[in-house]
Amino acid sequence: GMTEEEAREQEPIEVYSATFRAMQTGFAEREDRVMMKLIVSQATRVVLGCHIVADNAGEMIQLAAVAVKMGATKEDFDRTVAVHPTMTEELVTMKVPTRTA
């Protein structure tokens, strides 16, 4: 998908993001952090990009990439049942944009 900068140059967007300590590292008393971001078209609600920075991010981003390539909307993500406890549940539970551009 697109970066935030690429999407912003093309159209108005909403950015949904979260930064947190994953449960699996919290219990191990590690300070590792996770960052996730969805870039969403304001006009069509299509998810234009998804970014994940975390251990095993490659395992998580693959399914998000399929959804982005298929033209999934933010509401499609919202209707997805989150598997708990997982890091990727955050992708379907971010409800309020952190910024618009």
Counted domains in the chain: 1
What's the domain range around 32? 4-94
Q: How many CA atoms lie within 13 A of 15 on its CB side?
A: 17
- Separation in Å, CA 16 to CA 25, 50, 58, 90: 23, 10, 20, 10
Query: Is residue 99 in a domain?
Result: no
Which CATH number characterizes residue 52's domain? Answer: 3.30.390.30
Indicate which residues carry an active-site annotation.
84
Per-residue pLDDT of the chain (101 residues), as tens digits, is 999 999 999 999 999 999 998 766 666 676 788 999 999 999 999 999 999 999 889 989 999 999 999 999 999 999 999 888 888 889 999 999 999 99
> Looking at the domain assignment, is residue 74 inside a domain?
yes
